[in-house]
Amino acid sequence: MGDPLRVRMAGPLRQFVPGFAAELARLGYTAGSARAQVGVMAHLSRWLAGEGLDAAGLTPQVAERFLAARRAAGYARCLSPGALVPLLGYLRRLGAVPPPAPEPGTAAEVLVGRYRAYLASERGLAGSTIGYYAAEARLFLGWAAGADLGDLAGLSAAGVGGFVAGRCRGRSTGSAKILVTALRSLLRFLLLEGLVTADLTGAVPAVAGWRGAGLPKALPAGHVAALLASCDREAPAGRRDCAVLLLLARLGLRACEVAALELDDISWRAGEIVIRGKGRREERMPLPADVGEALARYLRGGRPPGDGSRAVFLRARAPAGPLPAGAVSVIVRRACRRAGLAPAGAHRLRHTAAVQMLQAGSPLAEIGQVLRHRSAATTAIYAKVDHGALAALALPWPGSMP
């Protein structure tokens, strides 16, 4: 595809080409992708010169005008605002172009921002939990107050109960429980803020749901091997995916725990790995030999250079950076598709690890330690899939032959 530095460039952005090309290389862009990015930069630079503007005039509004002109000129690629994100990010870090003006937030969004800060500083919740609670808070505030937060003072217990009944309709039990838990938290916060005059948490009804009512869903025998076999271990992404799948299937990690792994968490000499689990707990676990080998193979010949990140798993495509938790489940689903299996998420492999340990004769207490459960009652659900142990408890069917 050629050297991106050889793209013909004129106009006010010409001086930034070498630095931008180096930035694209650092972020893991291939030569072809980097050349395409510099090509957009060249078009933008010529357009700015034609408009009589320099780099300092490249405001978000001017960038939108350029994209409109690019579409009108018949270009087929790089037509959305996302096409300019790498370039504008680089130029803004240099201070060459003005930062985007902050959008004025609504009163509800400002309140949600304060609520998020409260959850982080006062309640110590994880970022993912804060995200769930904030989403439910926006839903409730939009229903209760709309644009006028002064209406919150008129909230009643009947109104709160009606909101929950209406919004829980059609939700799963788990989703409904998140809603009511988040709503109780929000109502306590609104009372602290003085936006409601009474404690309305008691008006939030409980969601009917019984612990252990369902069965943990594990992958059938042989499916984990099929997922691992679907990974191309000669390719960097395949080595990464193999290591991720082994961590999920052998150690029963959650997707967020895989994404949170850092290079310093692996003790090669001791054969141990530090897991950052729920509640910001850090726990040390043995590192099985096959998992360690897969990690070493990825770190030596599959992990892109990144931007100084200490995260173990990085994105395979540019821009390089830590692999988000949501991408861990994407890796599992793609492996299922390659192996010709029904789609499954990362948590299915956690259940599979527990069931395999149970079938191998491990006691429930040991399984709970591996899965890092706080309560034995959480692990007890796996007793329901131990058919051999349950068969001894089954009573004979009335009228059956002795």
Cα–Cα distance between 246 and 266 in angstroms, integer? Answer: 15
Q: Does residue 50 lie in a domain region? A: yes
Q: Does residue 212 lie in a domain region? A: no
Cα–Cα distance between 39 and 400 in angstroms, integer? Answer: 80
Which one is catalytic: 315, 350, 351, 372? 350
Which one is catalytic: 70, 348, 372, 373? 373
* Whether residues 73 and 116 fall in one domain: no
Burial of 175 (C-beta count, 10 Å sphere; 0-12/13-18/19+): middle
CATH number at residue 172: 1.10.150
* Whether residues 233 and 351 fall in one domain: yes
C-alpha of 199 from chain center? 34
Which region among 1-5, 52-56, 176-180, 266-270 has the lowest average model confidence (pLDDT)?
1-5
Cα–Cα distance between 88 and 105 in angstroms, integer? Answer: 23
Please state, rounded to an integer, the average pLDDT across all residues of the chain. Answer: 86
Q: Does residue 298 lie in a domain region? A: yes
Q: pLDDT, tens digit, for every residue of 189-201? A: 999 999 888 899 9
- Residue 16's nearest CA partner among 53, 48, 51, 41 is 41
Q: Is 278 a catalytic residue?
A: yes
Q: pLDDT, tens digit, for every residue of 101-156? A: 766 678 888 899 999 999 988 888 877 788 899 999 999 988 886 656 767 888 88
* Whether residues 315 and 365 fall in one domain: yes
CB 242 within 8 Å of CB 231: yes
Cα–Cα distance between 119 and 123 in angstroms, integer? Answer: 5
What is the DSSP-derived secondary structure letter of residue 274? Answer: E
* Whether residues 247 and 148 fall in one domain: no
The total number of structural domains in the chain stands at: 3
% of the chain at pLDDT higher than 90? 47
Q: Does residue 102 lie in a domain region? A: no
Q: Is 351 a catalytic residue?
A: no
Residue 381 domain boundaries? 223-389
* Whether residues 86 and 138 fall in one domain: no
Q: Does residue 208 lie in a domain region? A: no
C-alpha of 133 from chain center? 15
* Whether residues 232 and 380 fall in one domain: yes
**What's the pLDDT score for residue 209?**
67
Residue 69: phi and psi, rounded to 5, are -65, -35
Give me 186's structure tokens: 């929000």
Q: Is 188 a catalytic residue?
A: no
Q: pLDDT, tens digit, for every residue of 316-341? A: 887 888 998 889 999 999 999 999 99
- Residue 42's nearest CA partner among 73, 6, 72 is 6
CA neighbours closer than 13 Å in the CB half-sphere of residue 32: 2
Domain finish residue from 171, 203, 235: 203
C-alpha of 331 from chain center? 12
Q: pLDDT, tens digit, for every residue of 18-43? A: 999 998 888 888 888 888 899 999 99
**What's the pLDDT score for residue 227?**
96
Q: Is 334 a catalytic residue?
A: no
Which one is catalytic: 254, 315, 348, 372? 254
Q: Does residue 213 lie in a domain region? A: no
Q: Is 167 a catalytic residue?
A: no
CB 339 within 8 Å of CB 230: yes
* Whether residues 236 and 377 fall in one domain: yes
Which one is catalytic: 177, 297, 334, 347? 347
**What's the pLDDT score for residue 135?**
93
60-75 average pLDDT score: 91
**What's the pLDDT score for residue 1?**
46
Cα–Cα distance between 74 and 194 in angstroms, integer? Answer: 56
Inter-axis angle of helices 289-301 and 236-251, nearest 10? 160
* Whether residues 248 and 350 fall in one domain: yes
- Residue 362's nearest CA partner among 392, 390, 382 is 382
* Whether residues 262 and 335 fall in one domain: yes
Q: Does residue 184 lie in a domain region? A: yes
Which one is catalytic: 278, 281, 310, 337? 278
Which of residues 7 and 86 earns the better pLDDT score? 86
* Whether residues 82 and 20 fall in one domain: yes
* Whether residues 195 and 264 fall in one domain: no
**What's the pLDDT score for residue 393?**
46
**What's the pLDDT score for residue 292?**
95
- Residue 323's nearest CA partner among 301, 350, 304, 337 is 304
DSSP-based helix, strand, coil % in the chain, nearest 5: 60, 5, 35
Q: Does residue 144 lie in a domain region? A: yes
**What's the pLDDT score for residue 348?**
92
CATH number at residue 376: 1.10.443.10
**What's the pLDDT score for residue 207?**
84
* Whether residues 199 and 258 fall in one domain: no
Residues 6 or more apart whose CB falls under 8 angstroms from that of 211 comprise 377, 381
Which of residues 17 and 386 earns the better pLDDT score? 17
Q: Is 43 a catalytic residue?
A: no
Q: Most confidently modeled of 103-107, 203-207, 245-249?
A: 245-249
